[in-house]
Structure 1
Amino acid sequence: MKRILGWAMALLMCTSFAAAAAEPPVLQSRQAVLYCAENGQVLFDQEMDTPAHPASITKLMTALLVLESGIDLDQTVTVSHDAVYSIERGSTHIALDEGEQVTLEQMMYAMLLTSANDAANVLAEAVDGTQQAFAKHMTERAKELGCRHTNFVNAHGLDDRLHYTTAYDMACITRELLQYDTFLTIAGTQVYTMPPTNKQSEPRSFWNKQNILNPQSEYYDPSAIAGKNGYTSQAGHTLVTVARRDGVTLIAVVLGDDKTGKLVDTTALFAYGYDQFHKTELSAQTIVQKAEKAGLSPDADAVQAEMILLPNDTQTDALTYTAQDDALLVDAGAGDPLLLEVPQDTVPTGAAQAEPKEDGHPVPGTTEKAFWIGAGVVGGLVVLVAGLSYRRARIRKRRRISWMQRR
């Protein structure tokens, strides 16, 4: 009896531990999100749509526009007066001088590794001519990427009342940036040395400030592939980190944290995402069936299979599906529902089909034939009605003549 009770207690403890392990982490950051880069799935949300000052994680958007512009990073540019003197002197910089000759690649390393604000200004001017034009470009591009509450007024992230974003929006920006191998190469570099220039006789070395990417740090994560940190008095500590394990790329964003908390929180987010979720696939056939059941009209030939992350104790048969415009919301019971864009069948049921064509001309015997058949039917009816009318008129005339003769 005691043995049975012992087994029962052990089973209860294991069940309780499993339930506790599946609980989302408790963070000290004000805003946070854990986001899957492969499908846009949100696994964890803590005020992710609340606008906040981003500090230097802004530079991820700057890097994206530089890479999207297609500008040659080997190009040499001259540092302008405004690039040097428009930033606060107490902020992070690499002591660029007005008139200094530098390459855009050097500025990318300086901006992403050591978070140099003057380097960000140089890059902004190289892409759009002025810092103001570049800031407008940043905001416009953010909207195109699906960012919901973002407005940028500079390329570096120093505090401004009108410079803000959200944890979710930063995840969307980072997701787009991951398409560029150049970004991953730079962001994953531990140290970069910039050679002397026409204004500086000594080389300058830039060290990667991302503890999670540093093998010497207690917070090192070997699956981390990129990151960017930030800090200002108004923003607090901010951090965007990307990790990749077994074909799943997760983006962790924390805003309004402290120096150590951003690392603890990020580690907890990755542990939650990778330990408590498993990867599976929704087949194209399943998506079509669920979309039809939800009231959509999917184009079965255009729908493709989709990867989804599910809690470890959840299988695909437990998912719920809801239509939202031309999309399908897939709810796994944890995190936010996954929004699947479902290609719609644009030809309504019973609609007239396009006439067959040969060499750009209608095939004889299709539309033309139908037209003449229709015309013949209508013509026949007209002749019949006219004949009946004529006959009636003749009968009436005969009757009238007969009546006149009888009188």
Structure 2
Amino acid sequence: MKSNNFKNRLTALALCFTLLLGAAPITHAYAVNDESDTSSSQSDSDSSDTSSTDSGSKDSKDTKDMTADNDKDVIAAASEAPAVTATAALLISPDSDMVLYEKNADKKRYPASTTKIMTALLTLENVEDLNETVTAEQGDFTKVTADSSNADIKVGETVRVIDLLYALMLPSANEAAYMLARHVGGTSEHFVDMMNTRAEELGCTGTHFCNPCGLHEEDHYTTARDLYLIARETMKNDTFTNIIDTVQYRMPKTNMHEERIIFTTNQLIFSSFNPWSYPYNKGIKTGHTSQAGNCFVGYAEYGDAKLYSVVLGSAASSKEYPTVAASFTDTKSLYQWGFTHFKTKTVAKKGDTLAHVKVDLSTQTDQLVLTAKTDLMALLPADVETDSLEATPNLPEAVDAPIKAGDVVGSMTYSYNGTSYGTVELVALSDVEMSRVLYYSDKLSHFFQSTVFKIVLIAAAIFIVLYILFNITFGGIRRRRRRKAMRKRYDNDDYPRRHRR
């Protein structure tokens, strides 16, 4: 019996040891630390703050940073905004496009490998079958330096598009970027044209791409706000959201490689045991070159709240964790501040009566009840209640019947201290029938008030005036001629004698 108990205990210990090993991150083998993506101080491992049970703001070293309240380059929607090492930064709520924090958000910066978000977007928009294969060519490596980030793909190797996307977004493989560019655009040059065209379509005003991977070129630049627009569009694709929230991926065996594991360079999600990690971050993309500094475009969810972040030009290492690029701690501090100082609140509920508008052409009613078409959720400062918001309607003075229930009539915008927090469409609560008598009366009234009628009326008046003037002028002349003729006839010697007889 004792022997069996000893064996059971030994087995249990072995099992616990195995589980602990499985939780630890595997040694990184393929995401090379170089100038195209990862920081020179970055260890390519990541974790979450296990000491906090909320948005990560409690008892964290990151919250001890000095605030940016006195930084003239920072515009923040709440106090105690964090100071970041990034030369440009943006924190924004995608639900309302409300900017919580910005620093030089429209200044041109080098994007490094955050460029690859656009490369992924165009690939996902133009390739229907992600199981299509691409064979690496020598030209895919021409502009890729030997020490740049890669997935160890070889010339002649055939790789599926989906695997190239994972290689693009996790270890930030530059050869994968050129392979996808050639596959989608025919040539990498044409693909770059597609990138710039798509950026313009998304509303980017400070972006110009020169290559699909982000390796430094003087004319290859963007802004923090433009990167947000690109990331927001790309995040609409479910495949992309799955890829960027992946820590490690097993690339299948190819004609030149056995199965291999590739790892993310995103330190915020790499390992939950590291204190600089952030459990609510869902990815997106890292970047680094010596010219761009450390860059990161991120997305996080906490409860119902969602935030996008962009930091460009962050320091090589953070103050708290010297082995970690400051782009990650900058981002984490922005998220902590954002989720602490702003809360998602219901501003309007679907079906709530929000306004009334006058109704014409109906005997049924002269007022139309307008309700919220959908729920309106907004990220508000934590100390602002929804009843403190200013509601500004955008409505016509009146609407004409007939009206169907659910017809969009206008909108209501909610703001506080000049900041807009969201807009909801207003719809008709019920049907309103049209009165035909009022309809034709209105048509007649509108005709008499129309420009056409006024022109006809003016033309008629002018004609009458001219006719009168004509008659006055030429009629008088004719009458005078007739009188003169009569006098001549009367004065004629024969006239009196003829008439006297």
TM-score exceeds 0.5: yes
> Residue 213 of structure 1 aligns to a residue in which SS?
coil
Kindly report which structure 2 residues correspond to 1:143-222, keeping only aligned pairs within 5 A, or say none.
Answer: 143-200=200-257, 202-214=258-270, 215-222=272-279
Q: Percent identity?
A: 31
1:158 positional shift: 0.9
Cα gap change, 1:26 to 1:149, in 2 (>3 Å) = same
Give the aligned partner of residue 309 of structure 1.
379
- The answer to whether the Cα contact below 8 Å between 1:84 and 1:97 also exists between their aligned partners in 2 is no
1:320–1:332 contact (8 Å) kept in structure 2 = no
**Offset at residue 285 of structure 1 (A):** 9.4
1:267 aligned partner: 332
Deviation at 1:157, TM superposition (A): 0.8
Cα offset, 1:166, TM superposition: 1.5
RMSD: 4.0
Query: Does the 8 Å CA contact 1:110/1:206 hold for their aligned counterparts?
Result: yes
Contact 2:305-2:343 at 8 Å conserved across structures: no
132 and 304 in structure 1: CA distance in 2 versus 1, 3 angstrom threshold: farther
User: Structure 1's 341 and 388: CA in aligned 2 closer, same or farther, altered over 3 A?
Assistant: farther
Aligned-pair CA distance for 1:387: 7.5
Contact 2:344 2:378 in 1 (8 A): yes
* Cα separation, 2, equivalents of 1:217 and 1:182: 27
Shift of 1:218: 2.0
Whole-Å separation in 2 of the counterparts to 1:320 and 1:268 = 32
* Cross-structure match for 2:343: 278
Q: Which has the higher helix share?
A: 1
Deviates more, 1:180-189 or 1:132-141: 132-141
1:319-373 Cα distance to aligned partner (Å, 9 max, x none) = 698x9xxxx9987559x8679899xxxxxxxxxxxxx9xxxxxxxxx99xx99xx
SS in 1 for 2:268: helix
Query: Post-superposition shift, 1:53?
Result: 1.4
Moved more, 50-59 or 111-120: 50-59
- Report Cα offsets for 1:80-131 as digits up to 9, x if no partner: 2111232011101122222211110010011111111001111111110111
**How far, CA to CA, are the matches of 1:279 and 1:160 in structure 2?**
41
CA contact 1:282–1:308 (8 Å) conserved in 2:
no
User: Any stretches of 5+ residues in structure 1 without a counterpart?
Assistant: 1-19, 290-299, 343-355, 357-365
Normalising by the residue count of structure 1, what TM-score does the alignment of the two structures yield? 0.73
Alpha-carbon distance in structure 1 between the residues aligned to 2:300 and 2:154: 36
1:51-78 Cα distance to aligned partner (Å, 9 max, x none)? 1111111111111111122432110121
Question: Structure 1 pair 308/406, CA: closer, same or farther in 2 (3 Å)?
Answer: farther
**What is the distance in 2 between the residues matched to 1:87 and 1:288?**
63
Q: Secondary structure at the match of 2:82?
A: coil
Q: How does 1:8-407 map to 2 (within 5 A)?
A: 22-200=79-257, 202-214=258-270, 215-257=272-314, 258=316, 259-280=324-345, 281=347, 307-314=377-384, 317=388, 332=416, 381=464, 385=468, 392=476, 395-407=479-491
Distance, in Å, in 2 between the alignment partners of 1:341 and 1:406 is 93
Instruction: Tell me the number of residue pairs that the alignment of Structure 1 and Structure 2 aligns.
Output: 346
AA of the residue aligned to 1:236: G
Compare CA radii of gyration and give the structure with the larger one: 2
Quote the Cα distance in structure 1 between the aligned partners of 2:310 and 2:355: 30
Structure 2 contact 114–295 (Cα < 8 Å) conserved: yes
Q: For the residues of structure 1 that align with 2:330 and 2:185, how far apart are their CA atoms?
A: 36
Where 1:83 maps in the other structure, the secondary structure is helix
Unaligned stretches of 5+ in structure 2? Answer: 1-68, 70-77, 317-323, 358-368, 395-411, 426-438, 440-446, 492-501
Q: CA offsets per residue over residues 216-236 of structure 1, 9 Å max, x none?
A: 332333322222111111111
The code of the aligned residue for 1:22 comes to S
